[in-house]
Amino acid sequence: MKSVISTKGQLVLPAELRRRDGVLPGQEFDVERLGPGVYRLARAGEPENSGLVDWLLACPEKDWFVPIASESTASLKPRIGGQ
């Protein structure tokens, strides 16, 4: 994908990439120069929900939270009519 540097030196991250990666306004990024004309852009800091699963698993109530074995929702069957 291509993007254009504005007259203020700003770079627009294309909407498709923002949606795919959950990038929201105000989030910070680190920019690193790898070489002449080559840059690396990475989200700064930990995601907002980082550590959430560990926190839920630490609940003193036994079996209050059980992680789902699958890392994908692709195997879930769609519900028809919200049922």
Please list the residues that pair with 30 across neighbouring strands. 42
The number of beta carbons lying within 10 Å of the beta carbon of residue 47 is 10
- The count of C-alpha atoms lying within 13 angstroms of the C-alpha of 65, restricted to the half-sphere facing its C-beta, is 10
- Of 12 and 56, more confident: 12
Output the pLDDT for position 70: 66
Ordered domains of the chain (ranges, CATH): 1-70 (2.10.260)
Q: How confident is the model at residue 14 (pLDDT cuts 50, 70, 90)?
A: very high
Measured distance CA(26)–CA(43) in Å, rounded: 11
Per residue in 15-36, pLDDT tens?
Answer: 999 999 888 888 899 999 999 9
Q: Which residues contact 17 (CB under 8 A, 6 or more apart)?
A: 1, 23
